[in-house]
Amino acid sequence: MLNPVNDVLLSVIVPVYNAAAYLERCIESLIQQDESRFEVIFINDGSTDHSLSLLQNYAHYPHFHIIDKVNGGVSSARNHGIRASRGKFLCFLDADDFLPSTAFSTWLCLMQQNVCMAVGQSQHFTPQGQALDFPVASDHARPMAVSAAINELLYFNPRHGICDKVFRGDVIRQHHLRFNEDIYNFEDLLFVMNYLWLQQHRQVVFSDKVVYHYVKSAHSATRSSLKEKHFSFARSFSSMKAFLSAQHHRCYYHLYLKVTSSYIYKALNSEGFSRDFIDEYIALYRQSFKSYLSSGLMINAWSLYFTFFFLSPRLVSRLRKWVRK
């Protein structure tokens, strides 16, 4: 049984939307944590399955708080959780994922006074709970200046999500930092870059410990049918650039081109996208490619691909589709 919450060190924000199939596994992983000074804020985001009733079965746990709201999307749910949080530190958990029992104690150990954010390892699982990979975990932790950490997250050790990280709650609350609810892709990376821009006097720690169990699902947003709203990633990157300096531009544009070319390829091989819509993003890609050249392109296979895609995105996409077949 969990102990009553007297001193909340860590707030955990869990958006819940039609997650009944996996929710109990997620909740049990929270109950089994070896650190008790935490609170969990579950935001039921208008679920139409029995997710809410499952949450209510655990309402007697003193660490757990349940917010029931109309559906507004994952960013809306996370923002509700931020507003309700009390912890010195803050992290995020998706309801279809789960945690190793040492996740919270690892976070609290890493978040020393001069550290603004810690980043851990993720292990991937099937929906049935079978491990798909086995990261080599160790006690090794690399402290890094924020400026270097940004390039690490963008390119050298790409970590674009939100759930393998822990943040300082006071920084988020003081600056009213929130997720953009009108952006559906890379809004989490935008949140991270905004946060780091506010904390350039501190350090980021990269840990080799596994802090998150990510469940790979065929129904995830990245694998579901492509829609125009998914191209809001461009707004994420446009906003993100305001938080970066010239030393980050090469890594930033490398990621931007990788993402943009991927979405153009998907759109060219999907139904429901007009030629004008696709051409708009091809023009954006070509403009970004020129900026990438100006920032100093990286000598790697991706840069060669970017060049060919710049010359003829439709031809490259046809060839790529042919190779995949």
pLDDT tens, 77-118? 999 999 999 999 999 999 999 999 999 999 999 999 999 999
Tell me what pLDDT residue 230 has: 94
Report pTM: 0.94
Q: Are 43 and 81 in contact (CB under 8 A)?
A: yes
CATH number of the structural domain 10-215: 3.90.550.10
> Residue 172's CB: how many other CB atoms inside 10 A?
20
pLDDT given for residue 4 in this prediction: 43
Helix, strand or coil for residue 301? helix
- Give the alpha-carbon dihedral of 220, 256, 92, 34, to 10 degrees: 100
What 174-181 contacts at long range (C-beta under 8 Å, 24+ apart), as own/partner pairs, is 177/82, 178/75, 178/79, 178/82, 179/74, 179/75, 179/78, 179/79, 180/75, 180/235, 180/236, 180/239, 181/72, 181/73, 181/75, 181/76, 181/79
Please report the pLDDT score of residue 224 as a whole number: 58
pLDDT for res 321: 87
Q: Boundaries of CATH 3.90.550.10 in the chain?
A: 10-215
**Residues of the chain with confidence (pLDDT) below 70:** 1-6, 218-224
Q: Which of 114, 133, 112, 115 is nearest to 212 (CA)?
A: 133
The pLDDT of residue 218: 62
